[in-house]
Chains A and B, each alone.
Chain A
């Protein structure tokens, strides 16, 4: 048991280092966005919200995809670590979603003239957020570890199904949301300074995701070892 605990502790320590680096990188993206990128003439300074909003959306969709993939692997391999990793990624995905769902409307208010519109991309993203809030609520409500892992894996896979649909929603439906500038078949459609800042944002927020999820996974492993030892008593 102490071996598992010491592994969890070293995971937490590694995660804390990654998280610190991720936060520093995110601060660097703020500086790049404010001082390095040019101001967009039609949207003004509010366009720079994009450098925080788009990487947060990227982080959220990566996190929720990881939940789905880990859930599929859990149902196949029955390795409890995959369930713990999925749960950790879901919580981190909710943090990224909160950034995405707050910065988006702030940009929308000044550019669209409204905080929110019920178009396909926005509605599906909000639905995905609620799905993973329900995922965590479900985990808190089921005491049996095996049942908890199985039930939540099914919800996690449903979330994974939604992710590509959200990405393609701007092509499938008539929507106010801008079309992708990066993850699309043709070349990126933006000036090099903007593209560099966006790519830096994606890299920084991926690092931040890795930091958050590693710490959270370490905490989950430590709690799991304690839960297991109290079950044995």
Chain B
């Protein structure tokens, strides 16, 4: 039986955007926490 390929590219865009946002936001929080840890670490090592 013939079938029509569904036009659902917007779902792909939504899923890829959500995934990218989650990874980038998490990477951003890790970078912020890492910078704080590195700064405090260098301050204490200097004492």
Task: List chain A positions with a Cβ less than 8 A from chain B.
Answer: 1-2, 5-6, 8-9, 12-13, 15-16, 19, 23, 26, 30, 39, 41-46, 48-49, 52-53, 56, 95, 98-99, 102-103, 106-107, 109-110, 208, 212, 215-216, 218-219, 222-223, 226, 229
Contact = CB atoms under 8 A, between A and B. Distances in A.
B11 A212 contact: no
Interface string B1-37: 0010111110110111011101110110011011001
Contacts, number: 108
B37 A222 contact: yes
How would you classify the secondary structure of chain B's contact residues: helix, strand, loop or mixed?
Answer: helix
B-side interface size class: 20 to 34
Interface of B: 3, 5-9, 11-12, 14-16, 18-20, 22-24, 26-27, 30-31, 33-34, 37-38, 40-42, 44-45
Give the 8 A-B CB pairs with smallest separation, nearest first.
A44-B6, A222-B37, A45-B9, A46-B8, A49-B15, A106-B15, A103-B15, A110-B8
A48 B5 CA distance: 14
Given A44-B9, A102-B18, A102-B22, A226 B38 contact: no
Contacts of A109: 11
